[in-house]
Amino acid sequence: MSALSSLTFLKVPVRSRLSFSSRTIFIPPFSVRAKNLSSRFVFRQASNGTNPTSETVFAVPTISVDNSEEDESTAFVIRARNRIGLLQVITRVFKVLGLRIDKATVEFEGEYFTKKFFVSDSHGNKIENLESIDRIKKALMEAIDGDDLTISARPATRGIVVRKPGLLSTSGERTAKAERMFELMDGFLKNDPLSLQKDILNHVEYTVARSRFSFDDFEAYQALSHCIRDRLIERWHDTQLHFKRKDPKRVYFLSLEYLMGRSLSNSIINLGIRDQCADALSQLGFEFEVVAEQEGDAALGNGGLARLSACQMDSLATMDFPAWGYGLRYQYGLFRQVILDGFQHEQPDYWLNFGNPWEIERVHVTYPVKFYGTVEEEILNEEKYQVWIPGEMIEAVAYDNPIPGYGTRNTITLRLWAAKPSNQHDMEAYNTGDYIDAVVNRQRAETISSILYPDDRSHQGKELRLKQQYFFVSASLQDIIRRFKDVHKDLSQFPDKVALQLNDTHPALAIPEVMRVLVDEEHLGWNKAFDITCKIFSFTTHTVQAEALEKIPVDLLGSLLPRHLQIIYDINSYFMEELKKRIGLDYNRLSRMSIVEEGAVKSIRVANLSLFCSHTVNGVSKLHSELLQTRVFKDFYELWPEKFQYKTNGVTQRRWIVVSNPNLCALISKWLGTESWIRDIDLLMGLREYATDISLHQEWQMVRRVNKMRLAEYIEATSGLKVSLDAMFDVQIKRIHEYKRQLLNILGIIHRYDCIKNMAKDDRRKVVPRVCIIGGKAAPGYEMAKKIIKLCHAVAEKINNDSDVGDLLKLVFIPDYNVSVAELVIPGADLSQHISTAGHEASGTGSMKFLMNGCLLLATADGSTVEIIEEIGEDNMFLFGAKVHEVPTLREKGSTIKVPLQFARVVRMVRDGYFGFQDYFKSLCDRVEGNNDYYLLGSDFESYLGAQAAADKAFTDKEKWTRMSILSTAGSGRFSSDRTIQDYAEKTWGIEPCRCPL
């Protein structure tokens, strides 16, 4: 009996580079000392006269075993169709199984090969146990039994252009190419520090074009990023090939916004090579943290919806779901916020000025997008069809961004589209000698993907925004349909293989676009096309107020997209007939539910279109879902309650603990005894067992103090203000908006300042010191939000320079708030305020990020806070304010509500010019007094001060505060985007994991 047959085996999931699904085999528990195979393969062309083009030989892969040729090796003979990269797959299988390859030969016979591998076990003996041989053969068959992975060629202006293998003129050329490819590609890029150093230096010299003996931190960042991208591309290729082979149902996530933040640290951590990269850089004279800071934010979105999209992409990759994300590659992201004399000024965010090493430009992946023109009727096979004759054509060019998963090889794609002029228009201008017209056309085309959120107060702004939306969905759907048709010919199978997720109403034009393609281009009947359309779309709305729902003027839509307006009218006509069958001639309700809104400006209600044509409508928190059902979409819910679901939003713990708070990450792993919580965040509940442990308390407090030191250094660097680490760091960072009530926070700070000023010196010793931190951007046209920012600075100027107050109270405004700043602020916060008027926040993912980091919440019962209360209990937060059901009544009472004297006093201080700018702040004061106090600042003020007092009292009890902090982190598992995505996959999309083997 051989040594292999007598071994004790471990039971582990088998992994190979391309082909294994998760299954169980036995692997010997020995380290593999793999040999360098590139110099040991012997290539020779078969000389038996086989026709190279024949497809009759080895059509089905075969594996046989011969133990007679060598004394110390077993020969595995594999016969199969040749495929680039297959040699690497096979050798990888042997390595994973703990086997050594002593030598190998390869014979080519046309498009097929015979590969003979002489292998031995880890002790150098033959493999003679029949059960072991059978397991090895099964593992090999899993690896090589795949579909042909080629992609058919397409016209240069449509889709992907790839040369098929086998187009070389002779079999000899094919053999030479295969030999060379096998030799060059025999192995993955290595991740040890030495290999990383070599790759970094190569990229310094050949990509960045700097001397490897003289390069700075930014050039080190560029080189390291390309080095990491190389490894992502390996995984990305493997994942896409695996998806193609398995052909699972895929979800396509359509969102006009992605706040990805920085990619370097996140990618390195998901690859599991953070320490190796740090070592490699250290030996080259660089610090990893300094190099990582060189990266700018990819600010392709604004607020929670955009960051949610980024978190969900991370979870889709980590959980092995077959998914693609689609969006726009804005040349200018969200504006840079510059504060001058306390006033916000907007500057363009030239985020692409220094290049983006994470994107892969797909110059051959382009699609034409049409605008304007007319619709004509044509007859085909005695059937009438509508043909759209466009007046303008733009090309959409793909830029791919690999999104790696954590603890998996899966790496999915975020494909962003950039607008370029159509070659057809350039040629027309060239032929007429109108060079200037060609340049103007190019500039006009590129404008479509230039600006995130163009100012839509003008007709031109509205048209550009609509162009962006259609450009995005048209290119994405052409890409999705092309990918489907590469494998499937029957469009009736489309819902079985494709799920389209509408992230809010921005991508809703995808609905009439799918109908247009199916009816006008694929010539399906209207009813069949509509049935397919309704089966593939699901819709998530982030809106709380019905008046905030998006509408498109009919005149604008008819001019820009004439065929789509016809289709929407057809859908609405069908919709109205269905409604009449259900509710009769209730014209008021028919009018409310109609997709077409009659009025002074006839408009298309995009949300109603999305609701009717989607199989599922999702809210983003439990409370939000209730508001949708009882207020916003009550008419729809009463007719189709089965459509309505909710999946509370989540955030990824990889970004918001592992990347942003590595010290806390290490501490959690130490006390839980595992790092598995990074993928299975429910394990965080294990911290509850240690919530009163003094040793954990000491370590927890130390981690929090180190994070506060980092934040204090940042505050001093950006504002020049020194703050005390012993003070409570009280944070509110989010978009500046009246409903988010930053003004309530500032008025509370004024009250605290007023109290301190009027205290006796002995009483001031009892005051809990506070550093109040506010950050966020106001929309360029939102005047009230800009006045709130100015008030914050005016109050800070007064407080921070008052010697009577000293370190008892400081107010800081952090400028240009973005994802990277949040990664610094959130871990350093003691208290975080989420104080929107109840019923106005759909979800509020910011509270989840603070919760994960052990920050205590001071909040209203709004959005996801209601569910956070359920997880950690009211005793571990500071709640205040009116409940959702109380808000309408309080608004009706208006000026009859008696506001607290403290509120009247602080408003009067602002109105009377105590902080300067008396005239400028007058309208701000008017908005919070009497019937104008729509967001109930006066009504909630007393309750707000009570919650602040409770926070002060708890902060003085370090043991209690630390216990509450630990329990906050322990209860945050429900708010991971992993759970959100799992819910979507099971209840909405109907997709399953498709894990790429290692």
Q: pLDDT by residue (tens digit) across 223-269?
A: 999 999 999 999 999 999 999 999 999 999 999 999 999 999 999 99
CB-CB contact of 350 with 468 (8 Å): no
**Chain CA centroid to CA 92, Å:** 32
**Per-residue pLDDT at 2 exceeds 70:** no
The Cα–Cα gap between 955 and 957 comes to 5
* Cβ pair 144, 19 in contact under 8 A: yes
Rg of the Cα atoms in the chain: 31
Confidence of residue 167 (pLDDT cuts 50, 70, 90): very low
Residue 92: band (very low, low, confident or very high) from pLDDT cuts 50, 70, 90: confident
Which pairing describes strands 644-646 and 616-619: parallel, antiparallel, or unpaired?
parallel
Residues in the chain: 998
CA distance 93 to 404: 23
Pinpoint the alpha helices (H) of 859-936: 865-872, 887-893, 901-911, 918-926
- Are 491 and 372 a contacting pair, CB within 8 Å? no
Tokens of 254: 């359509």
For residues 825 and 833, the answer to whether their CB atoms sit within 8 Å is no
Helix, strand or coil, per DSSP, at residue 169: coil
- Quote the tokens at residue 654: 């990889």
Instruction: Yes or no: say if 180 and 254 are a contact pair by the CB < 8 Å rule.
Output: no
Task: Give the DSSP letter string of 762-798.
Answer: HHHTTSPPEEEEEE----TT-HHHHHHHHHHHHHHHH
Concatenating the DSSP letter of every residue in 373-407 gives: -EEEEEEETTEEEEEEE-SEEEEEEEEEEEEEPTT
Distance set, CA 449 to CA 343, 395, 443, 839, 964 (Å): 29, 11, 11, 34, 46
Q: Which residues contact 760 (CB under 8 A, 6 or more apart)?
A: none
- What does the pLDDT read at residue 34? 34
Report pLDDT for 510. 98
Q: What is the mean pLDDT of residues 955-975?
A: 97
| Mean pLDDT of the 667-687 span | 97
914 sits in the region (left: phi over 0; alpha: psi -120 to 50; else beta) called alpha
Given this model, what pLDDT does residue 146 score? 47
Lowest mean pLDDT among 20-24, 67-71, 300-304, 547-551: 20-24
Give residue 814's pLDDT.
Answer: 97
Looking at residue 129, its pLDDT comes to: 87
Can you read off the two tokens belonging to residue 242?
A: 């695996």
What pLDDT was estimated at residue 111?
Answer: 67
Report which DSSP code applies to 979. H
From the list 717, 828, 855, 844, the residue with the least C-alpha distance to 773 is: 828
Q: Which residues contact 206 (CB under 8 A, 6 or more apart)?
A: none
Q: Are 801 and 350 in contact (CB under 8 A)?
A: no
Residue 173 has what pLDDT?
A: 62
Quote the crossing angle between the two packed helices 958-970 and 694-719, to the nearest 10°. Answer: 90
Least confident of 373-382, 592-601, 692-701: 373-382
User: What mean pLDDT do residues 117-136 have?
Assistant: 86
Residue type, 554: V
Q: Which residues contact 165 (CB under 8 A, 6 or more apart)?
A: 83, 84, 150
Average pLDDT over all residues of the chain: 88
Q: Whose structure tokens read 């990450």? A: 665
Q: Is 852 exposed, middle or buried (0-12, 13-18, 19+ CB in 10 A)?
A: buried
Name the nearest CA neighbour of 704 among 964, 962, 973.
Answer: 962
- Pairing status of strand 498-503 against strand 336-340: unpaired
DSSP string, 52-106: TT---TTSS-EEEEE-SS-SS-EEEEEEEE--TTHHHHHHHHHHHTT-EEEEEEE
The pLDDT score that the predictor gives to residue 8 is 32
CB under 8 Å to 619, separation ≥6 — which residues? 540, 541, 625, 626, 627, 628, 644, 645, 646, 647, 842
- What is the distance between the alpha carbons of residues 15 and 998, in angstroms, rounded to a whole number? 4
The 10s digit of each residue's pLDDT in 619-633 is: 999 999 999 999 999
Q: Are 972 and 309 in contact (CB under 8 A)?
A: no
Query: What kind and span of H or E run contains 937?
Result: helix 937-956
CA dist., res. 402 & res. 266, Å (int) = 12
Range with the lowest mean pLDDT among 159-173, 304-318, 448-462, 666-680?
159-173
Nearest to 965 by CA among 875, 861, 851, 873: 851
Q: Which two tokens stand for residue 379?
A: 């007859």
Question: Is the predicted pLDDT of residue 800 greater than 50, yes or no?
Answer: yes
Q: Is 153 left (phi over 0), alpha (psi -120 to 50) or beta?
A: beta
Q: How far is CA 36 from the centre of its chain?
A: 39
DSSP assignment of 938-961: HHHHHHHHHHHHHHHHHHH-HHHH
CA distance 682 to 672: 12
pLDDT value for 171: 55
pLDDT at residue 468 greater than cutoff 80: yes
DSSP H helices in 215-303: 217-246, 264-271, 274-283, 288-292
Position 423 confidence tier, pLDDT thresholds 50, 70, 90: low
Nearest to 494 by CA among 480, 512, 474: 480
First to last CA, the chain: 31
Residue 74: predicted pLDDT: 92
Q: What pLDDT was estimated at residue 5? A: 33
pLDDT at residue 897, as a whole number:
87
- Give me 524's structure tokens: 């399906």
C-alpha separations of 50 from 109, 369, 921 in Å: 6, 48, 89
Phi, psi angle pair for 371, to nearest 5°: -140, 160
- The residues pairing with 384 across neighbouring beta strands, listed in sequence order, are 379
Average pLDDT over residues 906-922: 97
Least confident interval from 95-109, 285-299, 685-699, 772-786: 95-109
> Is the Cβ–Cβ distance between 624 and 843 less than 8 Å?
yes
Partners of 730 in the β-ladder: 772, 831
Spatial separation of the C-alpha atoms in residues 565 and 33, rounded to whole Å: 65
Q: Which one has a higher pLDDT value, 304 or 560?
A: 560
The answer to whether residues 402 and 233 touch, using CB atoms and an 8 Å cutoff, is: yes
> How many Å apart are CA 48 and CA 864, to the nearest integer?
71
User: Are residues 545 and 508 in contact, defined by beta-carbon separation less than 8 angstroms?
Assistant: no
Report which secondary-structure segment, H or E, holds 12: strand 10-13
Q: Which residues are catalytic?
A: 542, 734-735, 740, 845, 849
CB-CB neighbours of 161 under 10 Å? 16
CB 852 within 8 A of CB 972: yes
- Strand duo 596-597 + 411-421: pairing: unpaired
Instruction: Note the pLDDT tens digit of each residue in 758-767.
Output: 999 899 999 9
Which of 301-305, 485-489, 903-907 is modeled with the greatest confidence? 903-907
Q: Write the single-letter amino acid at 406.
A: Y
**How sure is the predictor about 436, in pLDDT bands with cuts at 50, 70 and 90?**
low
In tens, the pLDDT along 309-340 reads 999 999 999 999 999 999 999 999 889 999 99
Name the band, by pLDDT with cuts 50, 70 and 90, for residue 443: confident
